[in-house]
Amino acid sequence: MYHMPKLDLDAANLTKEERELAQGILATQGPNKGNLRASKPKVTRTKMADGTWQREGGEMAYIWRNVAFMVSPNPKHQCLPMMAFCDLPGEWGDEQRELAARLDDIADRIAATAPAAWLHGGVARWANLI
């Protein structure tokens, strides 16, 4: 098991709504309590009668995936999170792109609270390729 980094949500300067989403990316029990979760928060998908999909928990999962990419020591988390948008609610378009941009900002602020030594994750792994 990897020891995940401690994240300081107070230092991330989050609004109340942003903090509610961010709380879900932290472990709530065990030796990792208060640190980044070791796995992605659950996303519940429900197919609606009109053929569209309703997703619950996708925003939290999106934030977790991007923070994990930046700071997780687990090599499995260090792959580019290009498909993270698939957990977001709605159909891909302008509305979802705007949501992703807002969530990227939240993830960046949270990841910035991790000690610099933790930025060895996907950031370091992919820095020379991008």
Mean pLDDT, contiguous 10-residue spans, the chain (130 residues):
86 96 94 92 92 89 95 87 88 88 96 79 61
Containing domain of residue 62, as a range? Answer: 16-126
Residue 123 is predicted with a pLDDT of 62
**DSSP category for residue 104:** H
28 is a domain residue: yes
63 is a domain residue: yes
117 is a domain residue: yes
Helical ranges in the chain per DSSP H: 16-23, 58-71, 94-111, 122-126
Residue 124 is predicted with a pLDDT of 60
- CA angle 112-67-117, nearest 5°? 50
The total domain count for the chain is 1
60 is a domain residue: yes
